[in-house]
Amino acid sequence: TTEELEARVREIKNELGTKLYIPGHHYQKDEVIQFADDTGDSLKLAQLSEENSEAEHIVFCGVHFMAETADILTTKNQKVYLPDMRAGCSMADMADIFQTERAWTKLTELFGTTIIPLTYVNSTAAIKAFVGKNNGATVTSSNAEKMVSWAFEQKERILFLPDQHLGRNTAFNLGVSLDEMAVWNPINDTLEYDGPIENVKVILWKGHCSVHENFTVANIHDVRAQFPEMKIIVHPECRREVVELSDMDGSTNYIINAIENAKPGSSWAIGTEMNLVKRIIQQHPDKHIVSLNPHMCPCLTMNRIDLPHLVWCLESIVEGKPHNVIEVEDEVAINAKKALAAMLQQS
């Protein structure tokens, strides 16, 4: 039963004490997040994994790229586990290393050495390593503006992987116009751009988050019609036109803080992942909060981490035959760490 599974997690947590650390991303289900030692967005969890040097076992409740990042940042005697290997990220899957290398060859033919790569942390370790090798950096949604500004101090042009929306929204906020942004299509290896090539400042990888792309302009119009006083706040993984029409936009942490600091009685429509929106609604009974899209689904891959998988993974650690160890090979890890370090230095 659920009660038995919950009791078992508590027992194992007591038994392993500080040897066990469970970070949980904000998009995780309540049945899992209740056991997290820390919750956070992707940047906070990356930093905490690095700081938690006592923990021998890091059971990462999030998705695959986050567990890889934790493995890259922690020491050799710390092991990182992902309770369900199917917990991937459809956005991270939209850029593979071979496509990226092909793109880089073509883009450096076009732009020479005037270009630097940046990758959202929602990407494979191999992509992070590619970026590190080429003197670029990783980015999260909470430091994207800082990192894009940093990149422009290094070079005239940026290749931004793999989320076109975060890249476009961030560059736009920094004053880059939409006609200075091109799109790299990894399916047919082409640059989608109408103007003179020398005008390009940002090349956006044609990837997206299948959760955040579900928020539409029609959702915004519906909310405005039904609740004219409602403030609309969205994640920058949403499309440009949705961000444009909303009142506020920012990372998971930014959204949580904005609602926390909002006046009692205020009303909000939130455009981000459903598990988080539901939790925010529960935590703020004094405010009127809805999802920007009432038919929104949670992130299905985040949802793969559930209580039975958590128990299964913890049991395997206790038995000394651990399942689902995430180990990034050394050569990849060294270069990926360079890209992460370039970001963490700025944060």
Contact 62, 32 (CB under 8 A): no
Contact 330, 89 (CB under 8 A): no
When CB distances are held under 5 to 8 angstroms depending on the partner's kind, the choice from ligand SF4, ligand 13P, none that residue 126 binds is none
- What residues does 202 pair with on adjacent strands? 158, 181
As a whole number of angstroms, the distance between CA 268 and CA 259 comes to 8
Site for ligand 13P in 78-107 (CB under 6 A): 89
Q: Which stretch binds ligand 13P (CB under 6 A): 46-54, 137-145, 154-162, 195-203?
A: 137-145
Q: How far apart are CA 319 and CA 312, in angstroms?
A: 11
Q: Is 43 in the site for ligand SF4 (CB under 6 A)?
A: no
User: Is residue 42 a contact point for ligand 13P (CB under 6 A)?
Assistant: yes
| d(C-alpha 331, C-alpha 133), whole Å | 11
Backbone angles phi, psi at 174, to 5 degrees: -90, 5
Nearer to ligand SF4, 115 or 292 (CB): 292
Tell me if 122 contacts ligand 13P by CB under 6 A: yes
CB 57 within 8 A of CB 283: no
29 contacts 255 by C-beta, under 8 angstroms: no
User: What's the closest the beta carbon of residue 28 comes to ligand SF4, in angstroms?
Assistant: 10
Q: Is there a contact between 218 and 245 (Cβ–Cβ < 8 Å)? A: no
Least distance (Å) from ligand SF4 to the CB of residue 265?
30
Instruction: Pick the binder of ligand SF4 from 89, 121, 158, 343 (CB under 6 A).
Output: 89
Residue 252 or 291 having the CB closest to ligand 13P: 252
**190 assigned binding-site residue:** no
Could you say whether residue 164 binds ligand 13P (CB under 6 A)? no
Least distance to ligand SF4, CB of residue 273, Å: 5
3-state secondary structure of 23: strand
Decide whether 176 or 209 has the Cβ nearer to ligand SF4. 209
Partner touching 100 among ligand 13P, ligand SF4, none, CB below 5 to 8 Å by kind: none
In angstroms, rounded to a whole number, what is the distance separating the alpha carbons of residues 69 and 121?
8
Length of the chain: 347
Q: What is the spatial distance between Cα 173 and Cα 67, in angstroms, rounded to a whole number?
A: 30
Number of CB atoms found within 10 A of residue 331's CB: 9
Residue 74 as a binder of ligand 13P (CB under 6 A): the answer is: no
The nearest distance, CB 89 to ligand 13P, in angstroms, is: 6
Interacting residue ranges for ligand 13P, rule: CB under 6 A: 41-42, 89, 122, 140-142, 209, 237, 251-252
Residue ranges binding ligand SF4 (CB under 6 A): 27, 63, 89-91, 122, 209-211, 273, 299, 301-302
Known binding-site residue numbers for [4Fe-4S] cluster: 89, 209, 299
